[in-house]
Amino acid sequence: MDKIGKWLYLIGLLVTIIAFLFGFTDIKILMLILLIAAILAGIFYADPDDAANIGLRYLALAAVAGVFTGELFGIGDYLTTIFEAAVWFLGFYVLTVLVVRFFKKEF
């Protein structure tokens, strides 16, 4: 299951970035599939005992996501879109890891 989770994580993140770059965010079924991929990757791939580190890395990425909004050699908008796509996908991933951590610790 670890390999399935790893592939869901990698492919889901790449497809999310491509979807955001080409403006496919209006396709509801694609966004739903990516959401499910993030949740399944969080269940099968992530280590719930490392939830604090995963959360800190996510917060750092979310903080950096808006830095490139200006003209940065003509690629600033693309970098912003890539980071925002990663934050969108990883948000559901991190939330799932935290929920799994909670259930593992409490039950």
pLDDT by 10-residue block (mean), the chain, 107 residues: 91 96 93 96 93 95 81 77 94 96 91
Contact assessment for residue 63 and residue 55, using Cβ atoms and an 8 Å cutoff:
no
Question: Domain containing 96: what range?
Answer: 2-106
Instruction: Count structural domains, the chain.
Output: 1
Contact assessment for residue 36 and residue 69, using Cβ atoms and an 8 Å cutoff:
no
By CB neighbour count within 10 A (0-12 exposed, 13-18 middle, 19+ buried), where does 81 fall?
middle
Query: Which 3 state secondary structure label does DSSP give 47?
Result: coil
| pTM for the full predicted model | 0.90
43, two tokens: 């269940």
Name the maximum alpha-carbon separation found in the chain.
52
